[in-house]
């Protein structure tokens, strides 16, 4: 499983409406644009556009169901997104630990100079 950051994937997840849609789909197991639009403060057309973005990056897959499509979250792609987030978080944690060590070293050097005066 690759943990390289996929900008398209994160752009898709970055939208709060799409994150809410993913939450609803995960909770319900699947859903349609009409069903999701009844639970969100956006039109059915807007929901369909959001679903198209999620489908394009592989986070959801559509199955024809009469005149509509039923959307289901792709758990493997979601796991990939979670792995990316974990990797980015770990990298930032390491950076912040380095910054903290540098700041502490600067503080100690300043304290040491102040004691010599």
φ, ψ dihedrals at 72, nearest 5°? -135, 140
Model pTM score: 0.74
Domain covering 7-115: architecture: Orthogonal Bundle (1.10)
* pLDDT score of 1: 44
pLDDT digits (tens, 9 = 90+) for 16-26: 999 999 999 99
* pLDDT score of 36: 97
pLDDT digits (tens, 9 = 90+) for 74-90: 999 999 888 888 888 88
Strand locations in the chain, DSSP E? 60-65, 68-73
Contact 51, 33 (CB under 8 A): yes
Residue ranges of the domains in the chain?
Answer: 7-115
Residue 23's nearest CA partner among 6, 39, 7 is 39
């Amino acid at each position: 499983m690759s943990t390289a950051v996929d900008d398209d994937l994160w752009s898709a997840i970055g939208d709060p409406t799409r994150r809410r849609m993913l939450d609803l789909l995960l909770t319900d197991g699947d859903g349609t644009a009409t069903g999701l639009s009844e639970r969100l403060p956006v039109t059915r057309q807007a929901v369909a556009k959001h679903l198209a973005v999620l489908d394009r990056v592989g986070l959801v897959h559509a199955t024809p169901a009469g005149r509509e499509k039923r959307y289901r979250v792709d758990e493997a792609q979601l796991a990939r997104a979670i792995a990316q987030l974990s990797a980015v978080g770990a990298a930032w944690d390491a950076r912040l630990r380095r910054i903290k060590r540098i700041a502490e070293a600067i503080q100690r050097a300043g304290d040491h100079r102040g004691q010599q005066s």
